[in-house]
Amino acid sequence: MHFVRVLIVLMGLLGLGALAAQVPQLQPETAMEQAPPSQPSPEGVATLNRQDVTAWLDGFMPYALDHGRIAGAVVVVVKDGETIAEKGYGYADLAEREPVDPQTTLFRPGSVSKLFTWTAVMQQVEAGKIDLDADINTYLDFEVPHYEGRPVTMRHLMTHTAGFEESVRHLISDRPDAIMPLRQFVIEDLPAQVYAPGTTPAYSNYGTALAGYIVERVSGMTFDDYIDQRIFTPLGMQYATFRQPLPDRLQPFMSKGYVDVTQAPKDYELVIPAPAGSLAASGSAMGKFMIAHLANGGPILQPQTAREMHDYRAPGVGPLNTMALGFYEQWVNGRRAIAHGGDTQWFHSDLWLFPEENVGVYISVNSAGRNGAASAIRSALFHNFADRYFPAPDDLTPIDAETARQHAEMMAGTYVSSRGSFTNFMSVLGLAGGIEVTVGPDGALMVPGLDGIAAGARDWIEVAPFVWRDRATGERLAATVENGEVKRFSIDAVSPFMVMEPAPAATNPAWLMPVVLAALFIVVLAALAWPLRAIVRRRFSAEFMLQGRALTAFRLSRLFAWLVILAVAGWVALVMAFSADIGAIGGPLDWLITLLRILTPLAALGLIITAGWHLWLCIRGKQRWTMVLGAVLLLLAGLVFGWVTIQFNLYGFGMVY
């Protein structure tokens, strides 16, 4: 798995599919393009009933799974308080040819689990034990620091605006010893705050785990017991659990998880911040949860509480989708859906509710598939379902071409996601590249790095100043512009919990990555030339031009060049290790992380000092210009690695990341 893909794995886990700063661009054979198109009835709109939706799904899903090389899936559609479609497709166990049973087969919904945590929070709001706008420290037995004098509130946690940076150290693992008590997790893994609370959406698994711990504190029950007694039991969700490892009674019903149908099944995933994503549930159980929320809370929430949860709209970017309380908006065809997506490494899911239409849709697949197929299928299902049953006329009216070109040119540049690491060594993943916004030959806006969260490439049409719509899906992209400068932008699919901001000049990968590669080339060349020149001199019995201190400086500079190479190789090995096993960064590789954060600054500083000394002695000794040039280049390379070490926090001993 290459370097950029690692960022996708880290940022996409437990969030909406493939929401990293870089998302893999899908190939033309995506589910959207290969799935049967929506065909409304002769009257213009298909009837949303059991017969029609079942027939439509039977035409869509097998074809999509086959082309995506996905082992199995479950889809549930509810309407007016009853389940009208509940279908399993493919296999829960490929080797045993065990089909997916929508009633009993358990899938891992990933971050869709958060909706249960937020429901529990709102139950405690009803009980008067949680105030959405109170400082969360009121409910904790440790302190979350204020940022710029502002406290974090439960409303901030529920809208992903608490300001926390990404936290991945204790995220997901297949090792039972990786599980830790919720209290231990929220205390040990408190991430740095990088935004003032309430100002910037930045998706946070930690924030949801913290909310789950607050539920424990105010209810006097463990989180697992609370969910069992207050949500699962009232809804009759027999085939559902947050408990890890999976309880014995449910193990026979658990679907295997796969990379794709060509590979062996993977071990059961353990989500360390359990309230953020540890749910295992059948499709039927998820249907009951959807029905309850569509019934204004059903037996688990009072109607006014459910409406408050569903109808809240957090501030966002222009007209784009924003957060409700826990749910996020997904407008489609003029209708407001509230939704949540989720991904573990192997399972990929989405849940959408249309409150006005009293309709809910849930899908979960048990494989990532090829070329981002899991994300493509989910996006295609949502948009094709809406186009079939809730169609709306296309109202794309572009603004004038010259203004559109000017605005696209203002947007052009490199951006970074608000969901990321900024104060710890994981920030080095940003070197893999930011989100590039470019201008096409026809003056159209192009953001290829975000195409992967849809089922195909985007065709952005500017329909209002700094508001674009995608011709295929109707989704919007919008920017906040102040004094002629773009401050941030986002797109509908991720805008509730993530925005893109201009990359800081000091760490902009557009210029820094080429410079780093050039510096690495110089260091490798210098390091390899050292023994090669020695061999050549020995072969021809030639004297080296440097003697005494000059020779010592030369040798030391080459020694530190090798140490820089060793440090770079170590970081690459670290990335490869946790790309193969994301759980490896939760403890097993701590020794390597610590070693690298000692070695890297020593190697960079040593190279700067020794290369500078070597250069000075070359100048004083009036060495040949080639020797002086080589010394200059090596010093510059050392300065580059020193810059990267400082800017990307490749030093220190803290283990919160």
pLDDT of residue 182: 97
pLDDT of residue 206: 98
Answer yes or no: are the C-beta atoms of 472 and 26 closer than 8 Å: no
pLDDT of residue 545: 81
pLDDT at 39 over 60: no
Q: Which of 323, 322, 372 is nearest to 348 (CA)?
A: 372
Cα Rg, the chain, nearest whole Å: 27
Answer yes or no: are the C-beta atoms of 74 and 105 closer than 8 Å: yes
Q: Where along the chain do its domains lie?
A: 3-389, 401-506, 513-647
Per residue in 171-222, pLDDT tens?
A: 999 888 899 999 999 999 999 999 999 999 999 999 999 999 999 999 999 9
* DSSP-derived secondary structure letter, 92: E
* DSSP-derived secondary structure letter, 49: S
- Continuous H helices in 266-395: 283-294, 303-311, 373-389
pLDDT of residue 456: 66
pTM comes to 0.91
Could you tell me which residues are beta bridge partners of residue 270?
173
pLDDT at 391 over 50: yes
Q: What share of the chain is helix, strand, coil (3-state, %, to 5)?
A: 45, 15, 40
Confidence of residue 454 (pLDDT cuts 50, 70, 90): low
pLDDT of residue 69: 97
Confidence of residue 78 (pLDDT cuts 50, 70, 90): very high
Distance CA 625, CA 304 (A): 80
Distance CA 554, CA 403 (A): 58
pLDDT of residue 43: 55
pLDDT of residue 146: 96
Distance CA 289, CA 352 (A): 12
What is the three-class DSSP state of 349?
Answer: strand
Confidence of residue 165 (pLDDT cuts 50, 70, 90): very high
Distance CA 365, CA 107 (A): 8
What is the three-class DSSP state of 571?
Answer: helix
- Continuous H helices in 412-547: 509-540
pLDDT at 584 over 80: no
Per residue in 488-543, pLDDT tens?
A: 999 999 999 999 999 999 999 999 999 999 999 999 999 999 998 888 878 887 77
* DSSP-derived secondary structure letter, 153: B
* CATH entry, 3-389, from 2.60.40.1180, 3.40.50.261, 3.40.50.2300, 3.40.710.10: 3.40.710.10
Contacts of 59 (CB under 8 A, 6+ apart): 36
What is the three-class DSSP state of 21?
Answer: coil
pLDDT of residue 472: 84
pLDDT at 30 over 60: no
Per residue in 418-438, pLDDT tens?
A: 999 999 999 998 888 789 999
**503 token code pair:** 């990359």
Longest dimension (CA), the chain: 93
Per-chain mean pLDDT for the chain: 91
Distances (CA, A) of 291 to 68, 79, 80, 88, 308: 30, 8, 8, 19, 17
pLDDT of residue 381: 96
pLDDT at 24 over 60: no
pLDDT of residue 16: 36
Out of 33-42, 193-202, 270-279, 455-464, pick the least confident.
33-42
pLDDT at 44 over 90: no
